[in-house]
Chains A and B, each alone.
Chain A
């Protein structure tokens, strides 16, 4: 655990010191997230608020969708850009190979590096999601309806979405570490739009998996479990030889 903590701190510190990459990542994520929120607001919230008697359940559903998507998108962009860049850089510059020659365990390196690319995205994702929650409530404040919030929106946006991306991050890092980083990146790149699309379809067109329901949280946890199982089966690939030869 001590080694994992040490590697996470060092890796995050090292990644954050690459200011240009950090600034570009934050700006790109902010622009994409803002566009997504604006689009959803125009297409969903505006018509719902414009009705004579706005339905709170509908507003919660749409807000839940917006918040979940914002967090999911931020985490996805982080993994695709910042995480991929960090992994590629560390492999090509010999940082990983050097660490493997020390007494540190190979699994510690994998977990620590996987967490190190996930944590910055988590922090930024949670901040953006929180800002979205406050901004949407502020802009579309309806005196009779009050502050729109629901416990399952919080669970789905702040816990379930990050959990899926945590598991995906570890899987992608495992694949990238033992093979070409681009392979891991392709998986992450395909996952993001496909998942967002599925989530939108589910939330808007089913009555069961809604962004304000426990079933949606369960579905996310289930997805995280599936990714963990895949990761577990791929774990035997995690050998020094595979990593070194792929560097």
Chain B
């Protein structure tokens, strides 16, 4: 059993709205799994189902091969929800101690100092949480999620509302947790840059359906939405530009001063573009193959999904 989370054909209707329309995916152990989607796509509902806060109408859900409703399974999951749920009147250390007791751990068995150091809050351990910034609260929530040393961490937009430096700090902590502590991370986010930086596998959900799912690198190749950027020594004349546009197989997308951006069709290589330009006496300074960014893939999929 290598999968940490296995979801199979999960459906959920809330009120009259079918929020999840039979979603399926698997998160392998030690994955940092990015769960992307626009607002209202069903991300939070999925997380709530994963944590046993909502019951799926149909489908199968397994966490580490077990039912989520077992208290034994809950002991193996840490969570960061959209609302932090911290006790403002308690200090950081008291919040962690409170949750350690909830998980029935003896205080001696939990290394609170280590946890607070891990999230860079060791110097503020005795301060009340009400005095913390949003970023500090999120870091403390991360420490709280780790208090019982879970195998899987489920996080709902942990960097939302945090300033850029705070986001970098939280991302670094997540990476440390995943790599040093060998945890599986399920990260729901709409921060594409964040997902691109730290996740190895992703699923994209839109209107309750999984639109894209798999390894980020292979998805890029599969989607084939990369392109070729060709820098020329002089600005391309308009007449040639019109000619290039007519050759749809070359897939000219954009011109920026001396640069041309192509998204060639399958079967058309960089060499075809270069030879065409050379035949028109255009000198090429540089030709770079560019991979599709997650943002481009995301935008393309959401555009495809738009009702015509």
Which residues of A are interface residues toward B (Cβ below 8 A)? 2-3, 6, 10, 13-14, 17-18, 92-104, 240-241, 244-245, 247
**A244 contact set on B, CB distance < 8 A:** 48, 53-54
Residues 211 to 264 of chain B near chain A (Cβ within 8 Å): none
- The closest CB in chain B to the CB of A10 belongs to B98
A102 contacts B99, C-beta separation under 8 Å: yes
A240 to B103, CA, bound (A): 18
- Whether B117 is near chain A, meaning CB under 8 Å from some CB there, is no
A14 contacts B87, C-beta separation under 8 Å: yes
B53 contacts A94, C-beta separation under 8 Å: no
A100 to B72, CA, bound (A): 14
**A13 contact set on B, CB distance < 8 A:** 89-90
User: A94-B85, A101-B79 known; A240 and B53 CB under 8 Å?
Assistant: yes
**B175 contact set on A, CB distance < 8 A:** none
A104 contacts B55, C-beta separation under 8 Å: no
A3 to B104, CA, bound (A): 9
- Whether B166 is near chain A, meaning CB under 8 Å from some CB there, is no
**B53 contact set on A, CB distance < 8 A:** 97, 100-101, 240-241, 244
**A100 contact set on B, CB distance < 8 A:** 53
A75 to B55, CA, bound (A): 37
A98 contacts B54, C-beta separation under 8 Å: no
- The closest CB in chain B to the CB of A101 belongs to B51
Instruction: Give min CB distance, B285 to chain A, whole Å.
Output: 55
A interface majority secondary structure: helix
A94 contacts B82, C-beta separation under 8 Å: yes
A195 to B55, CA, bound (A): 40
**A241 contact set on B, CB distance < 8 A:** 53-55
Instruction: Give min CB distance, B71 to chain A, whole Å.
Output: 4
- Whether B203 is near chain A, meaning CB under 8 Å from some CB there, is no
User: A102-B74, A103-B74, A244-B48 known; A14 and B89 CB under 8 Å?
Assistant: yes
- The closest CB in chain A to the CB of B141 belongs to A98
A118 to B150, CA, bound (A): 35
Selected contact of B83 from candidates A17, A93, A99, A103, CB within 8 Å:
A93
**A17 contact set on B, CB distance < 8 A:** 89-90
**A245 contact set on B, CB distance < 8 A:** 14, 54
- Whether B38 is near chain A, meaning CB under 8 Å from some CB there, is no
Instruction: Give min CB distance, A190 to chain B, whole Å.
Output: 29
**A94 contact set on B, CB distance < 8 A:** 81-85
Interface string of B73-108 (1 = CB under 8 A from A): 011010101111111111000000011011110000
A3 contacts B102, C-beta separation under 8 Å: yes
Instruction: Give min CB distance, A89 to chain B, whole Å.
Output: 9
**B79 contact set on A, CB distance < 8 A:** 98, 101
The 9 closest A-B pairs by CB, nearest first: A94-B83, A98-B85, A17-B89, A94-B85, A103-B71, A103-B74, A101-B51, A244-B53, A95-B85
B85 contacts A102, C-beta separation under 8 Å: no
A144 to B81, CA, bound (A): 68
Instruction: Give min CB distance, A114 to chain B, whole Å.
Output: 18
A13 to B90, CA, bound (A): 9
B89 contacts A18, C-beta separation under 8 Å: yes
Instruction: Give min CB distance, A105 to chain B, whole Å.
Output: 8
A239 to B82, CA, bound (A): 20
- Whether B52 is near chain A, meaning CB under 8 Å from some CB there, is yes
A92 to B54, CA, bound (A): 18
A93 contacts B85, C-beta separation under 8 Å: yes
A2 to B103, CA, bound (A): 11
A100 to B14, CA, bound (A): 19
A104 contacts B83, C-beta separation under 8 Å: no
A99 contacts B102, C-beta separation under 8 Å: yes
A98 contacts B90, C-beta separation under 8 Å: no
A102 to B88, CA, bound (A): 19
Instruction: Give min CB distance, B3 to chain A, whole Å.
Output: 21
**Interface centre among B53, B55, B74, B101, by most A CB within 10 Å?**
B53
A169 to B99, CA, bound (A): 25
**B54 contact set on A, CB distance < 8 A:** 240-241, 244-245
User: A240-B53, A244-B54 known; A104 and B87 CB under 8 Å?
Assistant: no
- The closest CB in chain B to the CB of A98 belongs to B85
A101 contacts B101, C-beta separation under 8 Å: no
Interface string of B97-123 (1 = CB under 8 A from A): 011011110000000000000000000
Instruction: Give min CB distance, A211 to chain B, whole Å.
Output: 39
A153 to B62, CA, bound (A): 59
A-B contact pairs, 24 of them (CB 8 A): A6-B101, A10-B98, A13-B89, A14-B90, A17-B90, A93-B83, A93-B85, A93-B88, A94-B84, A94-B85, A97-B53, A98-B79, A98-B83, A98-B85, A99-B85, A101-B52, A101-B81, A102-B74, A103-B75, A104-B102, A240-B55, A241-B54, A241-B55, A244-B53
A6 contacts B89, C-beta separation under 8 Å: no
Instruction: Give min CB distance, A241 to chain B, whole Å.
Output: 5
User: A10-B87, A14-B87, A240-B54 known; A98 and B81 CB under 8 Å?
Assistant: yes
